[in-house]
Structure 1
Amino acid sequence: MNGFSPSWQEVGALLAAPLTAAILLPGLLVYYGLHILRRGIIFVDLALAQVATLGTCVCVLLGHEATDVHAYLWSLGFTMGGALLFTFLREPAHGRVPLEALIGIVYVVAAATSVLLLSHTPHGREELQKTLVGDLLTVSWPAVLRLSALYAGIGLVHWLWRRRFIGLTFHREAVRAAGAPVRLWDFWFYFLFGLVVTTFVHLGGVLLVFSYLIIPAVCGQLWTGSLGAAFLMGWGIAVLGGVGGLAGSYQLDVPAGAAVVCTLGLLLAICAAAAALRRPAPSR
């Protein structure tokens, strides 16, 4: 090892906060991913993430830094607007247009608007790249602690009202028949989900948010129909993908967010192949 190579202690200190984030934070994303899969709104996370990013772009255009408190407040405001929008899009009056089509339109328009806004800033290209893949390797301990506290609070809300949230996702008609205010609870679901997406976009970017939400949840559902078991398996896949991606990113000197996404994709391929081999062959 030459004199310019960092010691294991230095590497450990550098990666400690990102690794902690990769282990603790994806759990809530996996839980939301299972809800998203069941509701059949796969791209709502991408759309909400892009809406949150649009808020950041507006803030940058106004002269603020993308990492200061103003950017979070703008993102939060746009996220609340997105939550209201998706609450009413969830059950359109006519029903002739698929919900996923409307979600896709929101994503594309928000993304295009972000590009237009950032084209007028000095570092627009760099900001666009950061919104896609984030900067997970440089996450700080204060950021990890803040997000852990926020996610623990949101997780507690879901635990205290788990029957209502799970009922809305998995037994929607029964909840409606019981006279519950479905749209009000839908709004809280999307708003809390938007908080998670907004904060994680600033950490890992849009692509990583989508990957953490969907890929581990799909892996879990490939193997079990139990919500609890799928959640635990999905969290395990998320941790493996995060740790493996960060290690690969450091060794190969490539963007951490993209490395984690590719690692999660590889794990999904392995899970899908293993699940296919586990199924009994059809009788002839």
Structure 2
Amino acid sequence: MTLLDLITEPWDHAFMQRALLVAAMSGIVCGVVGSHVVLRGMAFIGDAVSHAVFPGIAVAFVLKADLVIGGAAAGLATALAIAAVAQNRRLKEDTVIGVFFAAAFGLGIVVLSSAPGYSGSLESFLFGQILGISDRDVLTVAGTGTTLLAAAAILHSRLVTVTLDRETARANGLPVAALDVALYAMVALAIVISLQAVGNILVLALLVTPAACARLLTDRLGTMMLVAPLIGSLGAVCGLYLSYHLDLAAGGLIVLVLTGVFIGCWLLAPRHGLLARMRLRRARPEPEPAGRLLPSETAGR
């Protein structure tokens, strides 16, 4: 089989066409939203919200309602609660996130304990079911993703201002609390549309890893916003190709591909990679030991 056959063969199947489109769109949306998450040091919020959708899915399952809508409602409610409580600066943001993270997951377990025979139906949300995506799912991801990208573009400068200095942003009249709510809501929606790609357990990697790679590769925020979605979409598509040809779990391979890219960036990034920093340290002149006379000083004595 030629390289061209390896690339084109998956496109002969309608289910792979849908999967590749959703993988690429999820990677783009998570790359953009995840850049703000990484800049603010909020990786934990992604983990919390991804688990916060769990009780919504559980309730929707018990009520025989749409699982995606249930998960989205729970994720948004938890994100809004975190944003509201975190305005009390007495508590650090990660503390508030930890409280709601545990509460949401606990609630999901309690709800599921009342619904026998749930494991098979909810397994796809824990580990992803990207090969079972329908045409309706593709349209939902496309519509929601486009809305999120538009919101990220409109709020970009204000979100960056709040990230750099909350007090200055507040003094300049920016609605800091409302911007926090907006970012948390964007994170929740980005996670929900990515659940079918990599599942509830692995979705944090799609949100954070591409942005972390971009952070290592560039010092410019605008460039980071372009590089992160590029890495996210290409990594998701490559993982899906490997899944097709190797007959292995798609969600896990997507995450492993992105992790491999991250390790490569950590080692080889031109300015902030490990090898670049080692070369820089070797190039610096060694400081003279304290108390040692320089040659010129010795000659003058």
Given the two structures, how large is their TM-score scaled by the length of structure 2? 0.81
- The reply to whether residue 80 of structure 1 matches residue 76 of structure 2 is yes
| Deviates most, 106-115 or 135-144 | 106-115
Q: Which amino acid counterpart does residue 232 of structure 2 have in structure 1? A: A
Q: Which amino acid counterpart does residue 94 of structure 1 have in structure 2? A: R
The alpha carbon displacement at 1:12 in A equals 4.2
The alpha carbon displacement at 1:101 in A equals 3.1
SS at match of 1:123: coil
1:155–1:200: structure 2 CA closer, same or farther, 3 Å change rule? same
Aligned counterparts, 1:11-22, within 5 A = 11-22=12-23
Is the 2:18–2:134 contact (alpha carbons within 8 Å) kept by the matching residues of 1? yes
The alpha carbon displacement at 1:72 in A equals 3.4
Is the 1:53–1:201 contact (alpha carbons within 8 Å) kept by the matching residues of 2? no
Aligned counterparts, 1:83-232, within 5 A = 83-95=79-91, 98-232=92-226
Cα RMSD between the aligned structures?
2.4
| Deviates most, 101-110 or 22-31 | 101-110
Instruction: Tell me the residue number matched to 1:61.
Output: 62
CA distance in structure 1 between the aligned counterparts of 2:42 and 2:193, rounded to whole angstroms: 20
1:174–1:255: structure 2 CA closer, same or farther, 3 Å change rule? same
Deviations 1:114-153 (A, max 9, x none): 2333243343333453222211122223312221122112
Tell me, which stretches of 5 or more residues in structure 2 are unaligned? Answer: 2-7, 287-301
> Across the two proteins, how many residue pairs are aligned to each other?
272
Instruction: Tell me the residue number matched to 1:37.
Output: 38
Is the 1:245–1:256 contact (alpha carbons within 8 Å) kept by the matching residues of 2? yes
SS at match of 2:280: coil
CA distance in structure 2 between the aligned counterparts of 1:161 and 1:131, rounded to whole angstroms: 30
Given the two structures, how large is their TM-score scaled by the length of structure 1? 0.85
| Deviates most, 135-144 or 100-109 | 100-109
Instruction: Tell me the residue number matched to 2:274.
Output: 276
Is the 1:132–1:206 contact (alpha carbons within 8 Å) kept by the matching residues of 2? yes
CA distance in structure 1 between the aligned counterparts of 2:155 and 2:280, rounded to whole angstroms: 42
CA distance in structure 2 between the aligned counterparts of 1:22 and 1:154, rounded to whole angstroms: 16
CA distance in structure 2 between the aligned counterparts of 1:13 and 1:59, rounded to whole angstroms: 29
Is the 2:125–2:199 contact (alpha carbons within 8 Å) kept by the matching residues of 1? yes
Answer with 1 or 2: which has the greater Rg. 2
Identity of aligned residues (%): 26
Q: Which amino acid counterpart does residue 162 of structure 1 have in structure 2? A: H
Q: Which amino acid counterpart does residue 259 of structure 1 have in structure 2? A: L
Instruction: Tell me the residue number matched to 2:241.
Output: 247
The alpha carbon displacement at 1:175 in A equals 1.4
Instruction: Tell me the residue number matched to 1:4.
Output: none
1:253–1:105: structure 2 CA closer, same or farther, 3 Å change rule? farther
SS at match of 1:205: helix
| Deviates most, 262-271 or 203-212 | 203-212
Instruction: Tell me the residue number matched to 1:51.
Output: 52
SS at match of 2:96: helix
1:9–1:255: structure 2 CA closer, same or farther, 3 Å change rule? closer
